[in-house]
Structure 1
Amino acid sequence: MKTIQAYFPTENDAESAKASLQSLSVKQDTVEVIPEDTDLAPIVPVAGSTNTGGGTFNFTEVVTPNHDRNSALSDKKHLTHVLHFSVKEEEYDRAIRVIEEHEGHMNRMDLE
C-alpha cells in the first residue's frame, strides 16, 4: 500500500476526489482542513507533473518566483483541504489520475 496526501482548493474538490477513488482499493481515506503551519513549498499541481521527474517548474519560475502573482506559487495559498488515503501499489497511477482530474496538488517528491 502507498500512502498519499493530496491537497485541494476546496472541501468539495477533496470530497469529490475521495468519491471518485472509491472504484479503487482505497483504505483510510479522510478529508481534513490543512493545518495553518503546513509547509506548502514542495506542493505542486498534479496536472502535467506525472512522469516528468519533478520538472514541473520552468526556468523563469526558479529565477524569478514572483514573476506572476497568479502563478502556482501564490495559488498554493488557496489550498484549503487535504485528502489522506492509502492505495495498492498497482493502482497508484490510477489514483494519481483521479487526483489530477480533480485539480489536486501533491508533494513533488511523491510524483517522481
Structure 2
Amino acid sequence: MAKTIQAYFSTENDAESAKASLQSLSVDQDTVEAIPEDTDMTPIVPVAGSTNSGGGTFNFTEVVSPKHDRDSALSDKKHLTHVLHFSVKEEEYDRAIQVIKDHNGHMDKKDF
C-alpha cells in the first residue's frame, strides 16, 4: 500500500533536490509547488527531530512553545516556500523520510 507524503522546504531548489533523491525509491505522483501564503503552518515541524527518523536531539516542546521569541519562531515557518507531494510504498516510507530529513524538510507532525 502507498503512503502519501507532503514535505515542506525553504527553497524550490531544496524541494527539487529531495525529489531527485527520491527517484531511487518507488515514488509516484511527485510534484513540487509553491506554498500558498494563507497556508496554516502551525503543525509543521522539522523532520530532523521526528521520532520515526531516529535522529538528532529534538525537544518537541521547543517547537510548540519555543524559548525564544514566538514571533521569530512563526516567521521561521514562513520561510518554508515549497511543498513536495509524493506517494511511496509503505515499506520504503522510512527511507523516504530519511531523504526529506537529509534535505532539511519539514512535515505535518501528525504524519509521523
Select which of 40, 48, 58 maps to 2:61.
58
Q: Which runs of 5+ in 2 are unaligned?
A: none
Q: Which runs of 5+ in 1 are unaligned?
A: none
Report the TM-score when normalising by structure 1: 0.84
Q: Identity, % of aligned pairs?
A: 78
Residues of 2 paired with 1:35 and 1:59: CA distance? 26
- Residue identity opposite 1:58 in structure 2: T
Cα pair distance change 1:75/1:25, threshold 3 Å: same
- Residue identity opposite 2:15 in structure 1: A
Residues of 2 paired with 1:59 and 1:27: CA distance? 34
Cα pair distance change 1:35/1:23, threshold 3 Å: same
Shift of 1:37: 1.3
Whether 2:105 is the aligned partner of 1:107: answer no
Q: Secondary structure at the match of 1:47?
A: helix
1:18 matched residue in structure 2 = 19
Residues of 2 paired with 1:61 and 1:108: CA distance? 11
- Residue identity opposite 1:76 in structure 2: K
Shift of 1:48: 1.8
Shift of 1:73: 3.6
Whether 2:69 is the aligned partner of 1:81: answer no
Deviation track 1:59-105 (CA, whole Å, cap 9, x = no partner) reads 6952xx47246965431110000000000000000000000000000
1:9 matched residue in structure 2 = 10
- Residue identity opposite 1:78 in structure 2: H
**Equivalent residues, number:** 107
Residues of 1 paired with 2:62 and 2:87: CA distance? 34
Shift of 1:49: 1.3
Residues of 2 paired with 1:92 and 1:4: CA distance? 9
Shift of 1:56: 4.5
Whether 2:96 is the aligned partner of 1:95: answer yes
